[in-house]
Amino acid sequence: MNKQALTYDDIQLVPSYSTVTSRKNIDLSTKVTKRYSIQIPLVASCMDTVCESEMAVALAEIGGVGCIHRFMSVQHQLHEVSIVAKAAADLFIKNNSNTTIPVMAAVGANGDYAERAAELVKAGANIILIDVAHGHHENVKTAINHLKKLLPAHIDIIAGNIASAAAAKDLEAWGADGLRVGVGGGSLCTTRIKTGFGVPNVTCLENILAITSIPVMADGGIRASGDIAKALALGASSVMLGSLIAGTKEAPGQIIEKPNGLYKRYRGAASLETKTVHGQEQRNVEGESTVIPFKGGVKFVVEGLLDGVRSALSYGGANNLKAFKPEYVIVTHAGQTEAKPHLL
Ligand code: XMP
């Protein structure tokens, strides 16, 4: 393992010779798991202030996918998933689609996870995401094994979160069909402060992408379309978004009116607030909670992000994500300053 680790701000992509004539023609389709594809490489995080059915349906309509979070009763999660499954079935017909539209939902790795997963599949989920902070764990091995036996063969399993090549190798061997990659890099994470564990995102992705052949979802710390471009350039198949799409109309939660504007709450899955709201034991807090400005509709936000990503592919001389393999350079502190508007 390399001892010096880089994250998104430490690198810049080097422009390559391009024959891209129009950004409109750039194809952003990709795989989210072995069997399931999406038309844009964006996945809404399974957090209770990011993704329930309204977000997942809105993302499905523009070609992405949302993962329905698990911090609710089985009945409630089934209801949310059935709404997404119905909307996805309608979209399949409307778009004359030739690939199955993914319907993704999260479970844990202990307690009721297996019954929950089986019910979620009956409600229409075709991807089950095992949502665990430390995915390189015996519980996850047991959970994948169990779910692979229990669920029909067309159900894919995403497992994570992981941050090492050894973890990727193991999860793949245990039967995962997709990997959720990134530990401690999320915008509200305190894992690195509280535990000292975590690997900066660029090195984390590189170490894992060097050895795995299954789709990788880069999760945590994506703050702008440039970060999405960097993750995809390194070989991630998709990115999982929290803060970038929290605060939109479709994210769960009420709009909060303050004298200086409109806001919504965004809270870490392991924050004290999340644990309190869901009646969990108030221990092992590893996340913050906050309010963030209300951003309007998620489609508008995503279109802005995709404009940036398509532009990135044009700089990288690529018409599609498979061909997007620009080199990068490591930048100094002066380079990081130069990379941001510095006149104002
Ligand atoms: P962004 O940066 O997109 O990150 O807001 C979203 C991702 O952060 C992770 N996450 C957490 N990590 N404590 C953590 O250490 C938490 O409370 C927490 N909540 C979310 C998760 O991987 C998510 O997709």
Specify the CATH number for 8-330; select among 1.20.1600.10, 3.40.50.2300, 3.20.20.70, 3.30.420.130.
Answer: 3.20.20.70
Mutation to probe ligand 1, out of 9, 47, 49 (largest number of atoms < 8 A from CB): 47
Q: Are 39 and 51 in contact (CB under 8 A)?
A: no
Query: Is there an atom of ligand 1 within 6 Å of 47 CB?
Result: yes
Query: For the chain, which residues make up each domain, given as ranges?
Result: 8-330
pLDDT at 253: 97
Catalytic entry in 46, 67, 189, 204: 189
CA distance 261 to 45: 25
Amino acid at 321: L
Give the pLDDT score at 249.
98
129 in contact with ligand 1, CB cutoff 6 A = no
* Backbone φ and ψ of 287, nearest 5°: -160, 160
* Residue that is written with structure tokens 């690195």 in the block: 192
pLDDT at residue 98 in the model: 84
Confidence at residue 97, expressed as pLDDT on a 0 to 100 scale: 84
From residue 26, alpha-carbon distances to 37, 98, 130 in Å are: 16, 20, 32
The alpha carbons of the chain give a radius of gyration, in whole angstroms, of 19
Identify the burial level of 91 via C-beta atoms within 10 angstroms of its C-beta, where 0-12 means exposed, 13-18 middle and 19 or more buried.
Answer: middle
46 CA to middle of ligand 1, Å?
Answer: 9
Alpha-helical segments (H) within the chain: 53-61, 74-94, 113-122, 138-150, 165-174, 191-195, 201-209, 225-234, 272-277, 298-315, 333-338
Q: Is residue 46 flagged as an active site residue? A: no
Q: Would you write out the chain's pLDDT as a tens digit for each of its 344 residues?
A: 668 999 999 999 999 999 999 888 899 999 999 999 999 999 999 999 999 999 999 999 999 999 999 999 999 999 999 999 999 999 999 988 888 999 999 999 999 999 999 999 999 999 999 999 999 999 999 999 999 999 999 999 999 999 999 999 999 999 999 999 999 999 999 999 999 999 999 999 999 999 999 999 999 999 999 999 999 999 999 999 999 999 999 999 999 999 999 999 999 999 999 999 998 888 889 999 999 999 999 999 999 999 999 999 999 999 999 999 999 999 999 999 999 999 88
pLDDT at 2: 61
Closest CA to 240 of 179, 172, 299: 179
